[in-house]
Structure 1
């Protein structure tokens, strides 16, 4: 009897162990589309404490457990559940059929209203101030694109199809540096210290005669207003970012000292990067190094007078321009600015602002960084530009009228040469020198006035400008004179703008 009992106990233990082993065995269920009979990939599932997604064959792997539901979900097939019995059936069959869901969307109408305001303002955040090129920041506006000759530097803005000198790009309405490179490796926007800028004002079209004649429009970079405090105060900011594609480091900082009468700020930035890889994993030449350092001092002479001075130094080194025959080797730029402002109360003349500025760009480019095989020529081009001028403007206010009057002056000079050393061919060993800028000089001076008259139903805008342009080629090349015998030119250009604006509602005018 004991022997029979022992045999029955051993058989029972064996059957229970076999059942447990089977229950712990990992089994697969294949998910198949009911109509196409193709496997359904990336179906998410949950089964007890098990989870995952179907593989490329539509299969999921689970270990069977008692009284658990199998939850499944897919963007094209929705969410569904398999009960305990359905799971047992699916495991025995080895597959589950599912029909895709069809979602019908109602028609959608998108209505957009064209803005009637020709002036737009972009406020810069800390990420914008980390950028080493102002042209890249301008691309955040849908109306502005860029001409890119490098993958990381020197983005030349295009506003409504207008570019280069068709755009008036200034700092605080006047100051700007002139590009020294004939291929515009260093456009005006590349010389703007972004961490000292608070906002950007975009005036579209040739309407703003206050800032000069410009077909495309005016892009005005506005610096932060000085901060005066009742007690001595120190503040600062330090920001950094890193991009692994291109190994790009960007850093910027500012430190300020503030009192009731004095506001002093020092700013600095450093950015550098290597070649990056595009979507096809091809390396794109984009080496660059860019840095700037500057200081701004503002003094409150009285409750209604302020005097400000600023100086900035920009550095550029070894920057790749794969679409151009040469690369940037050195670019050193100085920007100086001085401004006096006077605010008057209880008078028709409410403010008077005067500023003077000067900028100098020392630029060197050559083809020494280019991997040329065979190398047929060595080329080098040192160039310089000097820009200086000033602006004075008064603001007059009455009950319903605002008038701006003033005078501005801008003088630009450019000089430089290109040296070409021939390495192959019949002229090998010879060196040619080309006079690029021909020691040129452009002087622009003008008087301007603009009046805004506000009535109950209309806004009347009247603007005028009388500008004199004078240009000289002080070292004209023989080849240039053969085509353009007139090397000195003076023009008087009058401009007039009239406008009437009526607002019908918030969207139309």
Structure 2
């Protein structure tokens, strides 16, 4: 009997447990999701997903997938990934269906700090559509391409190479130029014949981030802004393919020929891209038919390779070289004879290291630069040849830790730079005929920087906050100082600890309106030219310049306010800024110093100005690609004031407005474009630098783009259709005169692009 009762009890308990288990299984739900980039629809690998109710966190796999097991009908998820806007959503959990929920993330740069993103291209795969708001100008020079953005201009000293960008009146050492977030080669020329942008190979660029103001501190001690050229990211997750691409271009007035191409392998566990290009230019004529020297030849190549180590980590390397020959600079005392550049970058990325993202890079560059006056009339009296070199190397290490309460970014970086160079002057006439003098151009100058940065982005609904701070330690010295520096300045070694900080937010006011406000403080240690240049004409005027190792660091205190409206068809962006700069670095005449070169009226030395200010606005209206007719209307203006001397700052661009129109025909196979660019006269000039007012002008550029086949695209057009004689306000004057360096007159161009898959 007892056995029977025990058996019945056991059976009953077993049935009860089975029923309970079945009930639990019925209540158990599985939530599967897939995180995608909203623009590219590519999977986001290593994104962090926090399940709020249970306090669990997971990351997406190589396909952007994640999964939670839950007994609840609804989940609250907080999704974050570096470079994207955080997303918080409530979603229903359902029994496993085999179809994951598709969740899209938006890139953060489009809604955060004052930033402009210029799309260069959609990648090197065969195009299924064409970008409509691309540059009408097919120039290979990065500085020229940047001028398509509001409030960005360029200083031009030569005919066809090395336009030096100016952002909101900030220029040269006040800007940081990077490629894929890493500092690239720094030019050796004291006259900046070879600014950092001149070493960017534009065919390799997918988009350009222009981060304005002293806010993007994780890129370095950002003072006036950061220009970051972003390459196409490796794609390991498609089937392995081999692709080839080629560009052939010609521009009539300047005789520009451009041949570029390469092959690449994508997919699988490794990717490789080999790219090369050749560019040559000749003289051009301005709108009045005057001849302007602008010849050069340039050969460049790049080898990139990357390997997927695990589903969440990869290692990549980029090696590039450029060889410029016989580049003419009619606004300078010399022409570039040679410029040989070598760059190497090694990078490691892990998107899920202890639930965070680790990025590290090592970089190095070497530039060998030679310039001379041997083809100038001045060589009949004095032949001058200058050889200079620069070495730049460093590292960048950062770790990003997303969390439900906010995202933390910590990083450290360093840059080490050394310059050497001499100018040899051989006298051909007069009492010193046959004798030579050797001038120490850079005095063995060194400038090193070590920095550390912390950034926090708290997660607050409808708000996007960023708070950041960084410290930078600087060391500079000259190992081979010239007599003046030894006798007058003594010990040239300088050390400085700089502090920068910024805070800002954007707020979603409604489904269409958002606003932002930013405040920042940044220090900029003087550049190598401002510290150590030795009796060279490197300014906008004909004076020789002398460095000053006793300079104080500039300090920029800036605010930005932004307002953005976006609907299904229309987008309007407005931003205003005000920058108050302490110890602004300028230059003043030294009557006790005598120039060393014929033709220089005197010597100026770099010095600090107590107070300066720059302020202005940008405004853009554009459609959102919903109609065949595309349009973009923009305007920008900056005022710069020397508050200590109560005069205008030099080299501030004039008011500018642009109108771009395009129309998509035949399923986007044919797109005509027109670009109207109006620039006002500039009367706000710095008399202490002999700066002269410039006239306004209106330019008309036309372009027609046709997708002949899925792999072939043809573009043709006319720049400066009405052959206007004009020059940008920032152009230097022709050497030995006050006549301006005019820009090219009417020029016809044609460009053919081909992309093809081998398999």
User: What's the TM-score once normalised by structure 2's chain length?
Assistant: 0.50
Is the partner of 1:195 in helix, strand or coil? helix
For residues 76-155 of structure 1, the aligned pairs below 5 Å read 117-125=113-121, 131-155=139-163
Counterpart-to-counterpart distance in 2, 1:141 and 1:399 = 36
1:503 to partner: Cα distance: 3.8
> Which one of 429, 434, 443 corresponds to residue 438 of structure 1?
443
1:256 to partner: Cα distance: 0.5
Equivalent residue, structure 1, for 2:175: 167
Counterpart-to-counterpart distance in 1, 2:481 and 2:192 = 21
Is the partner of 1:344 in helix, strand or coil? strand
- Deviating above 6 A after TM superposition, structure 1's stretches of 4 or more consecutive aligned residues are 126-130
2:487 is equivalent to residue 487 of structure 1: no
2:350 is equivalent to residue 339 of structure 1: no
TM-superposition CA deviations, 1:218-269 (whole Å, max 9, x none): 1111111113255432101101111121221011112112341010110111
Change (3 A) 1:130 1:351: farther
Equivalent residue, structure 1, for 2:473: 468
Counterpart-to-counterpart distance in 1, 2:120 and 2:508 = 30
1:194 to partner: Cα distance: 1.6
Is the partner of 2:417 in helix, strand or coil? strand
For residues 295-334 of structure 1, the aligned pairs below 5 Å read 295-334=303-342
> Which one of 199, 208, 218 corresponds to residue 207 of structure 2?
199
> Which one of 381, 399, 403 corresponds to residue 398 of structure 1?
403
1:459 to partner: Cα distance: 3.2
Is the partner of 2:198 in helix, strand or coil? helix
2:233 is equivalent to residue 225 of structure 1: yes
Equivalent residue, structure 2, for 1:37: none
> Which one of 372, 390, 395 corresponds to residue 366 of structure 1?
372
Equivalent residue, structure 2, for 1:179: 187
Equivalent residue, structure 1, for 2:654: none
Contact 1:130 1:195 in 2 (8 A): no
Counterpart-to-counterpart distance in 2, 1:403 and 1:467 = 20
Counterpart-to-counterpart distance in 1, 2:314 and 2:505 = 36
Contact 1:131 1:250 in 2 (8 A): no
Equivalent residue, structure 2, for 1:413: 418
Counterpart-to-counterpart distance in 1, 2:379 and 2:267 = 63
> Which one of 347, 358, 363 corresponds to residue 352 of structure 1?
358
Is the partner of 1:472 in helix, strand or coil? strand
Contact 2:465 2:504 in 1 (8 A): yes
Equivalent residue, structure 2, for 1:386: 391
For residues 27-38 of structure 1, the aligned pairs below 5 Å read none
1:373 to partner: Cα distance: 6.7
Contact 2:391 2:417 in 1 (8 A): yes
Equivalent residue, structure 1, for 2:279: 271
What residue ranges of structure 1 are gaps of 5+ in the alignment? 1-114
By relative contact order (CA 8 Å, sep 6+), the higher-ranking structure is 2
Change (3 A) 1:483 1:224: farther
1:474 to partner: Cα distance: 0.8
1:309 to partner: Cα distance: 0.8
1:374 to partner: Cα distance: 7.7
Equivalent residue, structure 2, for 1:497: 502
TM-superposition CA deviations, 1:313-355 (whole Å, max 9, x none): 101000100000000001110000000000118x6x4210111
TM-superposition CA deviations, 1:118-153 (whole Å, max 9, x none): 022111139879643211111111221000001211
TM-superposition CA deviations, 1:176-225 (whole Å, max 9, x none): 11110111100000011222221111110011111121321111111111
Contact 2:507 2:514 in 1 (8 A): no
Is the partner of 2:380 in helix, strand or coil? coil
Equivalent residue, structure 2, for 1:55: none
TM-superposition CA deviations, 1:430-451 (whole Å, max 9, x none): 2111101111111101110111
Contact 2:397 2:413 in 1 (8 A): yes
Equivalent residue, structure 2, for 1:215: 223
Counterpart-to-counterpart distance in 1, 2:237 and 2:466 = 39
TM-superposition CA deviations, 1:133-175 (whole Å, max 9, x none): 2111111112210000012111000011111110011112123
Counterpart-to-counterpart distance in 1, 2:187 and 2:213 = 23
Equivalent residue, structure 2, for 1:62: none
Counterpart-to-counterpart distance in 1, 2:425 and 2:259 = 37
Contact 2:113 2:211 in 1 (8 A): no
Change (3 A) 1:259 1:501: closer
Alignment length, in residue pairs?
A: 392
Equivalent residue, structure 2, for 1:77: none
User: What's the TM-score once normalised by structure 1's chain length?
Assistant: 0.74
TM-superposition CA deviations, 1:77-131 (whole Å, max 9, x none): xxxxxxxxxxxxxxxxxxxxxxxxxxxxxxxxxxxxxx98502211113987964
> Which one of 425, 428, 432 corresponds to residue 427 of structure 1?
432
Is the partner of 2:387 in helix, strand or coil? strand
Counterpart-to-counterpart distance in 2, 1:445 and 1:266 = 33
Change (3 A) 1:263 1:116: closer
Contact 2:506 2:515 in 1 (8 A): no
Counterpart-to-counterpart distance in 2, 1:233 and 1:208 = 37
Contact 2:444 2:481 in 1 (8 A): yes
1:287 to partner: Cα distance: 0.4
Counterpart-to-counterpart distance in 2, 1:416 and 1:344 = 46
Equivalent residue, structure 2, for 1:260: 268
Counterpart-to-counterpart distance in 2, 1:486 and 1:452 = 44
